Amino acid sequence: MTDAKDTPEGRVVAEKYGDILSLDRPEPSRKHPRMALGNRAKIFSPFAALRGFDEELSRERSEAIARKEDTPTGEDWEGV
């Protein structure tokens, strides 16, 4: 796999932002400290990008199981 820095896009980024790429991240202000990772996880855990998607998957699974139960097995085909 090639390094992103060796691509044309990587060279453009290095040219454009080369003066700041090697700097450390700024420290958070005392007025607005960083949130703990545990608290951040709590904020985003209930998020569902597609409302109703889980319910739809459950319904599809139930229907697939019902269809499978209605499908004849090898023993059912012996007398045909």
Tens digits of residue pLDDT in 3-51: 877 899 989 998 999 899 889 988 888 999 888 888 888 777 766 677 7
Q: Where are the domains of the chain?
A: 35-71
Record the pTM. Answer: 0.32
The whole-angstrom separation of Cα 64 and Cα 79 is 26
E strands, the chain, in order:
none
Report the largest interatomic distance among the alpha carbons of the chain, rounded to a whole angstrom.
Answer: 80
Average pLDDT over residues 57-69: 90
| Overall residue count recorded for the chain in this entry | 80
The whole-angstrom separation of Cα 58 and Cα 65 is 11
Q: Are 5 and 11 in contact (CB under 8 A)?
A: yes
